[in-house]
Structure 1
């Protein structure tokens, strides 16, 4: 069985964690806000990750739409609590024809209570005229009768009823909104960061190839001079220019990819009014992207523990709690109804002496349905749903653990690949430099020089791809445990 207090504490803890990235004190927040707006407006350098997070968490209309769910969930809770608001009742009747001319007016204020299906009431009634003997209970003294009383249930409705269940479920719905909002924010931030990393990778590759291309272009004039002197054959210059053209074509293809991802990234960049900030395609990559994620032994242990608090599991636990409440309500329907009502009344004014004294009244009402098939079926259905959710929670937790361990294995491999690709890029750069020296000394040919240059470019591109792939692997670990909404904007 799910403990409600446990769910409340854990959900509040999750909400507190999520608020780390969303709530900052006003003075510091104002400074951060202005700084981020300035960064978003900078057309020369692309945004850092914390700038992107600021935009997604606080400026994007999708995030604002998610926050509106809190207003609706709290409104539903207020609606449920309104079942215990006091209310006014009025009854009256008058004999307009016949021998008797009695008139009766009666008003009461009732305040329902959450415990024991109880309610307290105060009542005032006054009558005038004559009543037949079988309606003497309506008679009051000249100024009327005032009374107070209480009514509550002894069996059916004592522990639970639809009104109290409505409040409980509304509170659970608020908890459910919190975990669902966390899930939506987690997915939204993940998509934004994946777009950012893809743009970052393609931009780095463009800059790397352009840098190598600039160095290579400087050698064209020297090679042309050697051809004119007869030191090299004309085909050497032709081969060089063909290789240079291939590199330029590669740069243009990389720019095409970069520019496409720049437009995709613009969707997540917003100004203070929530409008899209179109990032220029040729925007440079910032020197430090301010990557907020970190993975180490200590952090891995914390991430694994966070699996038990995953929003998907919390959502199922809330649904299970609501199902168990249905079981309680269905069991309540099987009980006989036994209600007690007690009141004290005092007549005021002049009239019959039989009404002078304070009157105390106690009443009992009893009923019991002879057929309980509906209630029994509802109990069996709700219990089956409870067992179903327990099994689904277990399966979901196992699936999350499996997904995390799979992502962890990929992250370990990504670290190793990044290290090897870095060594490969450094080695390719060294070999390319040595080949240029050999070519200048006449100990090599253009075919080998072009091959070394192409290998250097490919190695550097793979190194960049491996670095970004490692960042994506770290991102996946945080995404699986749904901790992306807790990322703080520095």
Structure 2
């Protein structure tokens, strides 16, 4: 990336006047490398992955062990009504099972009899098991599964965002290239017009041509100057638009210097830079398309929601058993006669809320599946249409190249006849105008050709790793 550092130096420093006259070419591949590495939107896309990681970390917190301490004491008019201490350590597990260890110490003159424990306190270790709702899937499991899917979805969404900014940056570069070529076309023909004007003026002063011919030659020079000035304005605007995508370092915007010009060999490197070679010559496999993968992750997340809501149709049945011991030293005795256990049962009679939630979850999945099928068909049709359009542009570019060549031949022949006195300035200007129009048309066709290749890159949602 040494050239990138060189460009940033050229962009950000003031150079001597002599240096400013030397043009520096901004390569298309390295330009996109700048955009991908430093553009704020590209960096913003990377933040989405960090959000996915943070969301996953948050969901894993549902399985963190917990310590709970409940202490309550009441003392009134010199009497200790009660002094209650209850400390619990809980370990949630994957299948809704919860392991617990507990220490309880209670005393007081008005203590509830059921809270009576040995003076040294009471220890317990046990397990809580849901045997219906919450066993195979529960809120904690669903949140973690969806967080993992969301993390993967953020990665492909990042690729889509980066692809979009690279596509827009490519269009800006191609517009800049078109404006530059248009300026160069008018510049070259302005030189021709001035040379012709000087020749006609000398001939008129020598009496070989009429003075009126110099007026026509001068009008041509003025027209070329006018067109050149308009082209310069267009080039300046396109340069500023290109600067919108040039950033370096810590979000520092860069402005193009006047001596920086586009690469006129874009047609040689564009396919490799955008990595669309395979799409141009073979049928593209859209299975790994980021947009489709993102929708698939979305559907998988909705499927997790559906399973969770379907699980809530089951009754809540929680079994709990706690082994009791007055001292942790005798915990290995496992005296099953000392225990605390229970069963909790809950079940709504009509299940209208739960059944409605399951139906809504199914409808969301169906909606996303329809969206997936529609998007896949749209992408396939767009890619096929773009490939057909590219084939047509190849033919059009070949035709316009031949037209430019033929107009050039006609102009050269007309100039030769003019030098022999067998033609007029009017005919030369007419031939030249036709040639200018043809070159401008070729320039526009080339830009449309490049734009269409960038459109193929966008619809395939590619993200070149080599930039």
With the shorter chain as reference, the TM-score category is 0.7 to 0.9
Rounded to whole Å, the distance in 2 between the matches of 1:273 and 1:160 is 45
2:274 to 279, 283, 293: 293
Q: C-alpha distance in 2, partners of 1:318/1:294? A: 25
Which stretch shifts more, 80-89 or 271-280? Answer: 271-280
Pick one of 26, 29, 40 that aligns with 1:47. Answer: 26
Match of 1:9 in 2: none
Q: Is the 8 A contact 1:77 1:167 kept in 2?
A: yes
Of 401, 404, 413, the residue aligned with 1:434 is 413
TM-score (norm 2): 0.87
Matches within 5 A, 1:85-234: 85-93=64-72, 103-114=83-94, 116-128=95-107, 135=113, 138-140=116-118, 142-234=119-211
Cα deviation 1:422-480 (Å, max 9, x = unaligned): 12112211221111111101221112111111122222222222222221111111111
Which residue of the partner structure matches residue 394 of structure 2? 415
CA–CA separation in structure 2 for the residues paired with 1:242 and 1:117: 89
User: Which one of the candidate residues 460, 464, 467 is aligned to 1:486?
Assistant: 464
Contact 1:334 1:375 survives alignment (8 Å) = yes
Match of 2:5 in 1: 34
1:243–1:294 CA distance, 2 compared to 1 (3 A):
farther
RMSD of aligned C-alpha atoms? 3.0
Secondary structure of the 1:117 match is coil
Instruction: Tell me which moved more, 231-240 or 149-158.
Output: 231-240
Task: Compute the displacement of 1:255 (Å).
Answer: 1.1
| Alignment correspondent of 1:386 | 365
**Inter-CA distance 356–473: structure 2 relative to 1 (3 Å threshold):** closer
Structure-2 separation of matches of 1:68 and 1:324: 26
8 Å contact from structure 1 (residues 153, 339) kept in 2: yes
Distance 1:358 1:46 in 2: 88
Indicate conservation of the 8 Å contact 2:217/2:425, yes or no.
yes
Superposition pairs for residues 349-368 of structure 1, below 5 Å? 359=338, 363-368=342-347
How much has 1:110 moved relative to structure 2?
Answer: 0.6
1:112-147 C-alpha deviation (Å, 9 max, x unpaired): 112x21111222223446788x8356322x433333
Residue matched to 1:247: 224
Alignment match, 1:332 = 311
Q: Secondary structure at the match of 2:247?
A: coil
The 3 A distance-change label for structure 1 pair 144 and 455 is same
Q: CA deviation at 1:230?
A: 3.1
Distance 2:325 2:32 in 1: 69
| Matched position secondary structure for 1:150 | strand
* Alpha-carbon shift at residue 50 of structure 1 (Å): 2.5
Q: Using the alignment, how far apart are the partners of 1:452 and 1:51 within structure 2?
A: 40
The answer to whether the 8 Å contact 2:4/2:34 transfers is no
**C-alpha contact (below 8 Å) 1:156/1:336 kept by paired residues:** yes
After the TM superposition, which of the residue ranges 58-67 and 33-42 deviates more from structure 2? 33-42
Structure 2: give runs of 5+ residues left out of the alignment. Answer: 14-19
Which residue does the alignment assign to 2:350? 371
